[in-house]
Amino acid sequence: MSPQNHLYKACLFDMDGLLVDSETVYTKTTNLILERYNKDPLPLPIKAQMMGRPGDKAAEVVINWSHIPMTTQEFVDEQQVIRAKFWSSMSLMPGAEALLQFLNTKNVDMALATSSNIANYQMKTNHLRDAFDLFGDNVITGDDPRIPPGRGKPHPDIWLQALNLINQTRGKQSLPPLSPKDCIAFEDSVPGVKSAKAAGMHVIWVPDAAILNLFHDQLKELVDDQCELLMNLEEFQPKKYLSGA
């Protein structure tokens, strides 16, 4: 349903590449491992396949492409060690904190739905608590036990669980529950877009410009009445979409 004839009541967010500039760190650390095995740097089409997926699934993409002699778990563990050195210098994406602060002042329900596991989520956000504390308890990570194995993005489960958290909070405030059609989901990756659309939410797709070029032939499939394309979060106009904004 387009915003021209519907006002939404909740905003749900992906994290990596949307709210925080973690994709730069992912690429840098992946290339360090590839270099160790005399492999070429990560090409953009392979990076695009990794984006938005749980860590083990993203690792499988790299290993299958590069044929490096590592198991999925070995790759994930090695990346964890290397990335830990970079997280504290990672910044928010343009417009991210301003949007979250605005939604908070307008009492718009918010939740975070990230494929990162809880340990990585904490390391990525410890120095950015002014922004991420605005989600309160409405945070679902990729390793949450409420998401069945193999049901990460592009499956819809993580978004529906994030909405469940919002409704639990609303219940404590004696407010009626929301349904997926009441929600906007913000995403930067194609698997994430497909995931949120499958959950029945309206999607704001904010892709990296270079990644967008790779999916030019899929734009008609991805961008439709249920999904809109913005080039950054600063382009989002709350009054166009949100009840009470």
Coil, helix or strand for 111?
Answer: strand
Tokens of 177: 């529950």
Nearest to 121 by CA among 184, 59, 55, 63: 55
Active site residue 137: no
What phi, psi does 237 have (nearest 5°)?
A: -110, 95
Determine the Cα–Cα distance for residues 228 and 219; give it in Å rounded to an integer.
10
Q: Which residues of 36-65 are buried (b: 16+ CB within 10 A; e: fewer)?
A: eeebeebeeebbbbbbbbbbebbbbbbbeb
Candidates 14, 157, 182, 208; catalytic one: 14
- Does the active-site annotation cover 14? yes
From the list 16, 109, 157, 208, the catalytic residue is: 16
Q: At a CB cut-off of 8 Å and minimum separation 6, what does 142 contact?
A: 54, 55, 114, 115, 116, 117, 152, 158
- Residue 38 contacts residue 80 (beta carbons within 8 Å): no
Catalytic residues, by residue number, are 14, 16
